[in-house]
Each structure stands twice: as structure tokens, then as C-alpha cells.
């Protein structure tokens, strides 16, 4: 089944969005590093980065990327748009390698390639966009029992992460900050998609801003975005960018597609073979992320050869010292 014109528009916007967002990770982290030398680091609760121009350049770049992403969701389903975030992993990992000197080794490159292959598999089997005529139709989808249960679970889990686990484990366990961003991100995308469709319908001549529902979606977008920005800054300032980007991508993509499947019922119109292929794409992405995560410290930690060499050298030195001590005490005993 070929791609519709709306899906092609959404695809083009999503690709450009990933390039902007991937670049913004690096520029923002550069700003965070500079700000951390003159004030309290973001990872420790500081906000000195707000006075750093490089952080604002990165923020503006991210805004451009999010605007393109916003428009993409108005034209194409989340299952098509969201996986293309894999491109931002490649962009941020490569730029981090050259600009931030966060080395990306051969297994990291393989991990990035697997992420792209998995995403491409999902894109090729993505469903067509559902036809929406009014924001009220979106509100009806958002207030169905299934999505209400999902939203409540997300709010409860995020609240536990923020108030219980973030103060204790945020600085040592990346999953805390990334989990907050990813879970809230899934709700953000659903609200962004609703708002984007409302704007598209308005530009086409049917004013949707006369309905209160679109203002509720707007409030959800603003609140969730501010929360995500705060905890994403903490994650970027604390952990390696080459690891944050793919892990955030996989978790965000997974929760977003789950939310979209519940709210928009994207898989209802697909055959079992297409759904199975999309799941295989997810497994491929997970494999790539595993490689990136497990090889993030390659080059920093010593190799087996160097470790053995150091142990052997250390033993030889200890033998030499013991020999010298024995000679000294033998000489002293003979003199006495």
C-alpha cells in the first residue's frame, strides 16, 4: 500500500525535525557545560544555563525542530512520525563525537545503524492517517475509558518518579529523568496531534478555536513541554549525550505509539503481518539501544590487555621491592 500525500508531508517534516532536534542536544549541552563552570549545574537543580547564549541557541534550534514535528503530527499518524526520531540519535551522536569529545565507537555506530533500520521498518509498514473532521471528535477519542486509564497511570508513575525517586536516584540512574520525559512525552504528542489537527482544520476554513476542547489540549501541551524541558536538561547535564539520546528516543517512541494505539486505534485497520513487522522494528531499535548503552564507556575504561599488563607490572614491582627489603635487612643483620 502506497503512502498518501499527507503521509509524505508528515515524513518530510519529521526528517527535518529530527535534524534540528539532534543538533539542539549538542548545542544545549555545550551551553550547560559552560554555565556549569560559573554557577550551579542543572543536574544539581541550578538554572544558571538561562543566562548562557549557547543554551538559548540550542533551545531555539529545538523549537524549530518541534514546530516541524508539530506540523508532521497534523498530517501523519504517530506510528509513522515518532520512529523517525532515530535520525536525531545519529545527528546528536556524531556531533557529540566531534564537538563534545564523547567518543562513539564501532559498536555505538552499529547501534545507531540498528536504530535506523528498525525505524525504517516501522515507517514502511505504518498505517494511513485517520480522517478527523472536528476537534470534538478528538475529544471523544481522548475521553474514552482506555485512554483515560492510560493517562491516569502515566500521571501516577510520573508523580512517583518526581517526588520519590528523582531526589534519591536521579543523579545515578538515567532511567529516572528519561522515564519522566518519555511518559509525559506520550501525552504531549497526543495533545500536540489534536492541536495540530485543529489548526489544520482552522486554516482550511473550519474554525476549531470556538470549542473549549482545543484550549484544554493547548494547556496540556504547554504544561507537559515545560516539565519535559526541565528534566531533559537534568538528564543532559548529568549523563552522556550519546546514551541519553537513544534511550530517550526508544522510551519516548514506545510510550507514544502505545498512547496512539489506545487513543487513535492505529492498528485496527492493519493486518497481522504489518503489526508483526512493526514489532520486529521495535526489537531492532531495542537492540541498537542496548549496544549504545553497553558500549558508552569504551575507551574510558582500560582494555583487558592493559589491565593484565598493569597487574603484571605491579607484581614485578612488588617482587623488586620485597627483594630490596630482604637484601637490606640481611645486610643489617650481618652487620649486627
Residues of the chain with pLDDT under 70: 1-2, 42-44, 242, 292-336
C-alpha 121/C-alpha 44 separation (Å) is 40
Q: Which residues of 161-171 are buried (b: 16+ CB within 10 A; e: fewer)?
A: bbeebbeeebe
Instruction: Please tell me the pTM assigned to this model.
Output: 0.70
Q: What is the pLDDT of residue 328?
A: 43
Q: What is the pLDDT of residue 311?
A: 45
C-alpha 126/C-alpha 130 separation (Å) is 12
109 phi/psi in degrees, rounded to 5:
-65, -40
Listed in sequence order, the DSSP H helices in 96-211 are 106-124, 135-142, 145-160, 166-169, 174-203
Q: What is the pLDDT of residue 2?
A: 61
Coil, helix or strand for 47? Answer: coil
Residue pointed to by grid coordinates 504547554: 222
C-alpha 198/C-alpha 178 separation (Å) is 29
Quick one: CA dihedral 278, 284, 288, 289, positive or negative? positive
β-bridge mates for residue 301, sequence order:
298
Q: What is the pLDDT of residue 55?
A: 85
Q: Which residues of 75-112 are buried (b: 16+ CB within 10 A; e: fewer)?
A: bbbbbbbbbbbbbbbbbbbbbbbeebebbbbeebbebb
Task: Supply the DSSP symbol for 2.
Answer: P
Cell numbers representing residue 310 in the block: 598493569
Q: What is the pLDDT of residue 310?
A: 52
Amino acid at each position: 500500500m502506497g503512502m498518501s500525500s499527507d503521509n509524505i508531508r508528515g515524513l518530510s517534516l519529521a526528517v527535518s525535525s529530527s535534524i534540528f532536534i539532534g543538533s539542539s542536544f549538542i548545542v544545549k549541552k555545550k551551553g550547560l557545560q559552560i554555565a556549569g563552570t560559573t554557577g550551579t549545574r542543572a543536574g544539581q537543580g541550578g538554572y544558571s544555563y538561562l543566562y548562557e547564549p549557547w543554551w538559548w541557541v540550542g533551545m531555539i534550534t529545538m523549537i524549530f525542530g518541534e514546530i516541524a514535528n508539530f506540523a508532521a503530527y497534523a498530517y501523519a499518524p504517530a506510528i509513522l512520525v515518532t520512529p523517525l526520531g532515530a535520525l536525531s540519535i545519529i545527528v546528536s551522536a556524531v556531533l557529540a563525537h566531534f564537538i563534545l569529545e564523547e567518543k562513539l565507537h564501532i559498536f555505538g555506530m552499529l547501534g545507531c545503524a540498528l536504530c535506523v533500520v528498525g525505524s525504517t521498518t516501522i515507517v514502511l509498514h505504518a498505517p494511513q492517517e485517520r480522517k478527523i473532521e472536528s476537534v470534538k471528535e478528538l475529544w471523544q477519542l481522548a475521553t474514552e475509558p482506555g485512554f483515560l486509564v492510560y493517562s491516569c497511570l502515566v500521571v501516577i508513575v510520573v508523580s512517583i518518579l518526581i517526588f520519590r525517586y528523582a531526589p534519591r536516584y536521579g543523579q545515578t540512574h538515567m532511567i529516572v529523568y528519561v522515564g519522566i520525559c518519555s511518559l509525559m512525552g506520550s501525552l504531549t504528542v497526543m495533545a500536540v496531534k489534536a492541536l495540530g489537527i485543529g489548526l489544520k482544520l482552522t486554516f482550511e476554513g473550519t474554525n476549531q478555536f470556538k470549542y473549549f476542547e482545543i484550549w484544554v489540549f493547548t494547556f496540556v501541551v504547554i504544561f507537559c513541554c515545560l516539565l519535559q524541558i526541565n528534566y531533559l536538561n537534568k538528564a543532559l547535564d548529568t549523563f552522556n549525550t550519546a546514551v541519553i539520546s537513544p534511550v530517550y528516543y526508544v522510551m519516548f517512541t514506545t510510550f507514544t505509539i502505545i498512547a496512539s494505539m489506545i487513543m487513535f486505534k492505529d492498528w485496527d485497520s492493519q493486518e497481522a503481518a504489518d503489526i508483526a513487522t512493526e514489532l520486529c522494528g521495535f526489537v531492532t531499535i531495542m537492540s541498537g539501544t542496548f549496544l549504545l548503552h553497553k558500549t558508552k564507556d569504551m575507551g574510558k575504561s582500560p582494555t583487558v590487555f592493559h589491565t593484565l599488563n598493569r597487574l603484571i607490572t605491579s607484581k614485578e614491582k612488588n617482587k623488586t621491592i620485597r627483594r630490596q627489603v630482604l637484601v637490606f635487612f640481611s645486610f643489617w643483620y650481618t652487620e649486627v
